[in-house]
Amino acid sequence: MFIKLRMDVVMYRMRIAIFLSFVCLISLFPQTTYYVSSSQGNDSNNGTSENSPWKTISKLNSRSLNPGDQILFKKGDIWTENLVIKNSGTSGQRIYYGGYSEGAKPIISLREEVPGWTNAANWIEYSPNIWRMNITPGIRLEVGISRIWLDGLETSIAGGITSESNGDGTYGICSDHKFWSSAENGALYVYATSNPAIFYSSIKYSGKINLDGSIVYDAIKLQNANFIVIDGLDIQGGMYCAIRLDGSNNVIIENSSVGKYCRFAGIAGFNGSDFAIIRNNNINSDFGVEQYLQYSASSGIQYGIVAADGCTYWNIYNNYIKWWAMGGFYFRTSNIGVSKYHKFYNNVVTNPLPATHGKCGQITSGVSGDASTYIEIYNNYFTESPMGIQVNASDNKFYFNVFNDIRGGTSTYSISGFAFSILKADAANMPQNNFVFNNTMYNFNKWAHDWTGDQTYILNNLYVNCGNTTSENVGVIFSQYSNIIFENNLFYRTNKGINDKMISLENVGGLTVTEWNALNGSYNKKISGNLQHLGSVDSLMDASDFSLPKNSLGLTAGTDISTLVPEGFKDRNGTIVNRTKPDIGAVQYVTGDQIPPTLVSAALLDSTKLLLTFSEPLSSSGIASLSNYSISDGILIYAAELNTNETKITLTTSPHTFGQNYSCSVYNLQDQAGNFLSTTSNSITYFSIFDRPSAGYINKLTIIKVAASNIDEPPYKTIDGIYYSNGGDANSRWKASPIPQWLVYDLGTVKQISITRISFYGFQEGRIYNYNISVSKDSVNWVDIVKNAASSNQEWTVNIFNPVEAKFLKLEVTGNNQNDWATVWETEIWGSSSLQAPLQIKPKVFLQGAYENDQMRTNLHGSNLIPLSQPYISAPWYYNGYETVLSIPTAVVDWILIELRSTISSTIAKRAAFIKHDGTIVDLDGQSPVNFYGISSGDYYTIIRHRNHLSIMSADKVALSESPTLYDFTVSPSRAYGNDQATLGNGKYGMYSGDGDANGTINVLDYGTVGAKLFQTGYFLSDLDLNASVNVLDYGKANQNLLKVSNVP
Per-residue pLDDT reduced to its tens digit, 977-990: 998 999 999 999 99
DSSP 8-state symbol, 1029: B
Sorted by sequence, the CB contacts under 8 Å of residue 766 that are 6+ apart come out as 793, 817, 818
Please check the confidence at residue 741 and state whether its pLDDT lies above 90: yes
Sorted by sequence, the CB contacts under 8 Å of residue 624 that are 6+ apart come out as 639, 640, 641
Q: Is the pLDDT higher at 727 or at 543?
A: 543
Domain-ending residue, one of 533, 558, 591: 591
Is omega for the bond preceding 582 within 30 degrees of 0, making it cis? no
**Residue range 562-586: mean pLDDT, rounded:** 91
The answer to whether residues 315 and 267 touch, using CB atoms and an 8 Å cutoff, is: no
The answer to whether residues 177 and 157 touch, using CB atoms and an 8 Å cutoff, is: yes
The answer to whether residues 203 and 114 touch, using CB atoms and an 8 Å cutoff, is: yes
**What pLDDT score does 486 carry?**
96
Please check the confidence at residue 2 and state whether its pLDDT lies above 60: no
* pLDDT tens for each residue of 57-98: 999 999 999 999 999 999 999 999 999 999 999 988 999 999
* Any domain includes 130: no
* pLDDT tens for each residue of 378-397: 999 999 888 889 898 999 99
Together in a domain, 908 and 796 = no
Of the listed ranges 86-95, 743-752, 924-933, the least confidently predicted one is 924-933
SS3 924: coil
Phi, psi (degrees; rounded to nearest 5) at 831: 170, -145
**Residue 811 burial by Cβ neighbours in a 10 Å radius (0-12, 13-18, 19+):** buried
Together in a domain, 779 and 851 = no
Please check the confidence at residue 284 and state whether its pLDDT lies above 50: yes
* Any domain includes 992: yes
**Residue range 944-953: mean pLDDT, rounded:** 97
The answer to whether residues 221 and 235 touch, using CB atoms and an 8 Å cutoff, is: no
**Residue range 43-50: mean pLDDT, rounded:** 97
Name the most confidently modeled range: 211-215, 268-272, 691-695.
268-272
Please check the confidence at residue 973 and state whether its pLDDT lies above 90: yes
Nearest to 1041 by CA among 972, 990, 1007, 992: 992
In terms of residues, how long is the chain?
Answer: 1049
Q: Is the pLDDT higher at 586 or at 581?
A: 586
* Any domain includes 247: no
Q: Is the pLDDT higher at 792 or at 486?
A: 486
Is this prediction's pTM over 0.85? no
What is the C-alpha separation between 753 and 354, in angstroms, rounded?
79
* pLDDT tens for each residue of 156-173: 889 899 999 887 789 999
**Residue 16 burial by Cβ neighbours in a 10 Å radius (0-12, 13-18, 19+):** middle
* Any domain includes 735: yes
**What pLDDT score does 30 carry?**
60
What is the C-alpha separation between 631 and 661, in angstroms, rounded?
11
pLDDT band at 694 (very low <50, low <70, confident <90, very high): very low
Nearest to 113 by CA among 237, 259, 219: 237
Together in a domain, 391 and 408 = yes
Domain-ending residue, one of 795, 812, 832: 832
pLDDT band at 31 (very low <50, low <70, confident <90, very high): confident
Please check the confidence at residue 882 and state whether its pLDDT lies above 70: no
Nearest to 281 by CA among 326, 330, 229: 229
Question: Sheet holding 179-182: strands in order across?
Answer: 124-127, 130-134, 187-191, 179-182
The answer to whether residues 664 and 681 touch, using CB atoms and an 8 Å cutoff, is: no
Together in a domain, 890 and 809 = no
Please check the confidence at residue 24 and state whether its pLDDT lies above 60: no
**What pLDDT score does 9 carry?**
36
Number of helices and strands in the chain (H, E):
7, 77
* Any domain includes 345: no
* pLDDT tens for each residue of 760-769: 999 888 999 9
**Residue range 677-695: mean pLDDT, rounded:** 70
Strands 449-452 and 420-422: parallel
**What pLDDT score does 700 carry?**
80
Residue 493, CA distances (Å) to 11, 225, 498, 528, 585 in order: 60, 52, 10, 20, 15
The answer to whether residues 941 and 934 touch, using CB atoms and an 8 Å cutoff, is: no
SS3 459: strand
Count of domains for the chain: 5
Together in a domain, 854 and 991 = yes
pLDDT band at 560 (very low <50, low <70, confident <90, very high): very high
Together in a domain, 489 and 452 = yes
* Any domain includes 48: no
**What pLDDT score does 425 carry?**
57
**What pLDDT score does 296 carry?**
42
**Residue range 782-807: mean pLDDT, rounded:** 84
Residue 62: other Cβ atoms inside 10 A: 11
Of the listed ranges 252-261, 430-439, 461-470, 875-884, the least confidently predicted one is 875-884
Sorted by sequence, the CB contacts under 8 Å of residue 818 that are 6+ apart come out as 762, 765, 766, 767
Together in a domain, 466 and 395 = yes
- CA 642, 645, 647, 653 torsion: positive or negative? negative
* Any domain includes 227: no
pLDDT band at 14 (very low <50, low <70, confident <90, very high): very low
- CA 339, 340, 343, 349 torsion: positive or negative? positive
Together in a domain, 636 and 740 = no
Please check the confidence at residue 6 and state whether its pLDDT lies above 80: no
* Any domain includes 984: yes
DSSP 8-state symbol, 981: -
**What pLDDT score does 354 carry?**
59
- CA 409, 415, 421, 422 torsion: positive or negative? negative
Please check the confidence at residue 582 and state whether its pLDDT lies above 80: yes
pLDDT band at 771 (very low <50, low <70, confident <90, very high): very high
Q: What does the radius of gyration of the chain's CA atoms come to, in whole angstroms?
A: 37
- Domain containing residue 747: 7-22+698-832
Q: Which residues of 248-259 are buried (b: 16+ CB within 10 A; e: fewer)?
A: bbbbbbbbbbbb
Together in a domain, 518 and 425 = yes
**Residue range 1027-1044: mean pLDDT, rounded:** 92
**What pLDDT score does 884 carry?**
72
SS3 234: strand
Together in a domain, 714 and 824 = yes
**What pLDDT score does 690 carry?**
54
Please check the confidence at residue 229 and state whether its pLDDT lies above 60: yes
Name the most confidently modeled range: 192-196, 324-328, 709-713.
192-196
Q: Report the percentage of the chain scoring pLDDT > 70.
A: 91
User: Residue 767's Cα: distance from chain center in Å?
Assistant: 22
What is the C-alpha separation between 527 and 508, in angstroms, rounded?
16
Please check the confidence at residue 20 and state whether its pLDDT lies above 80: no
Please check the confidence at residue 692 and state whether its pLDDT lies above 60: no
**What pLDDT score does 761 carry?**
94
What is the C-alpha separation between 652 and 663, in angstroms, rounded?
15
Together in a domain, 848 and 962 = yes
The type of residue at 710 is N
Give the alpha-carbon dihedral of 242, 247, 249, 252, to 10 degrees: 0
The type of residue at 288 is G
Nearest to 660 by CA among 742, 757, 546, 740: 757
CATH number at residue 705: 2.60.120.260
pLDDT band at 370 (very low <50, low <70, confident <90, very high): low
Domain-ending residue, one of 832, 854, 874: 832
**What pLDDT score does 449 carry?**
83
Q: Report the percentage of the chain scoring pLDDT > 90.
A: 60
* pLDDT tens for each residue of 622-641: 898 898 999 998 888 888 99
Of the listed ranges 109-123, 422-436, 700-714, the least confidently predicted one is 422-436
Please check the confidence at residue 890 and state whether its pLDDT lies above 90: yes
Tell me which H or E stretch contains 421. Answer: strand 420-422
Together in a domain, 812 and 863 = no
SS3 451: strand
Tell me the pLDDT of the chain averaged across its residues: 88
Q: Is the pLDDT higher at 98 or at 609?
A: 98
**What pLDDT score does 25 carry?**
35
**What pLDDT score does 12 carry?**
33
pLDDT band at 868 (very low <50, low <70, confident <90, very high): confident
What is the C-alpha separation between 600 and 861, in angstroms, rounded?
50
The 3-class SS string of 578-605 reads CCCCCCCCCCCCCCCCCCCCCEEEEEEE
Tell me which H or E stretch contains 327. Answer: strand 327-332
**What pLDDT score does 179 carry?**
95
